[in-house]
């Protein structure tokens, strides 16, 4: 493995948590291994490992972009990651309000629904 991959895996675990990464790694096959390596090195080892902005800010940006592009499965994953990045519910709502104005109300509305459901699941797990 490359240094970038190792850094990516470290950052990925810090942001998403060991349980999520372990599940994803267990599902990896020879077919999708090149893709998994790419995102571990590029997204996690390069972008998410940079220190020019905080993990909180990066989390808010990521959620807004995912919502704006309609990548709703990824929204839930990154809402869960806010427990590790420091982005609060208020931060997420601010990001999604931007989505409503700049990318469209339907995209923001659906992402807010996902966020509400995901936060409810997270709170139920804490009980």
- Give the domains, in start order, of the chain with CATH numbers: 1-52 (no CATH), 53-127 (1.20.1290.10)
In the chain the first and final C-alpha atoms are separated, in Å, by 39
Tell which phi-psi region holds residue 29, choosing left (phi > 0), alpha (psi between -120 and 50) or beta: beta
**Does pTM top 0.75 for this prediction?**
yes
What span, in angstroms and rounded, lies between the C-alpha atoms of 88 and 93? 9
CB 72 within 8 A of CB 114: yes
CB 80 within 8 A of CB 20: yes
Q: Which pLDDT score, from 0 to 100, does residue 1 have?
A: 81
What span, in angstroms and rounded, lies between the C-alpha atoms of 33 and 49? 21
Q: Which pLDDT score, from 0 to 100, does residue 87 have?
A: 98
Q: Which pLDDT score, from 0 to 100, does residue 121 have?
A: 96
What span, in angstroms and rounded, lies between the C-alpha atoms of 110 and 95? 13
Work out the average pLDDT over 70-86: 96
Q: Which pLDDT score, from 0 to 100, does residue 127 have?
A: 78
């Amino acid at each position: 493995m490359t240094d970038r991959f190792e850094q990516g895996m470290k950052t990925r675990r810090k942001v998403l948590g060991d349980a999520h990464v372990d599940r994803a790694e267990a599902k990896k096959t020879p077919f999708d291994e090149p893709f998994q390596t790419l995102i571990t090195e590029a997204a996690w080892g390069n972008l998410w490992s940079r220190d020019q902005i905080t993990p909180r800010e990066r989390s808010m940006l990521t959620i807004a972009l995912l919502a704006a592009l309609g990548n709703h499965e990824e929204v839930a994953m990154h809402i869960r990651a806010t427990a590790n990045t420091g982005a609060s519910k208020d931060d997420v709502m601010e990001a999604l309000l931007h989505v409503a104005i700049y990318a469209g109300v339907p995209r923001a509305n659906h992402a807010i629904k996902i966020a509400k459901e995901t936060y409810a699941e997270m709170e139920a797990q804490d009980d």
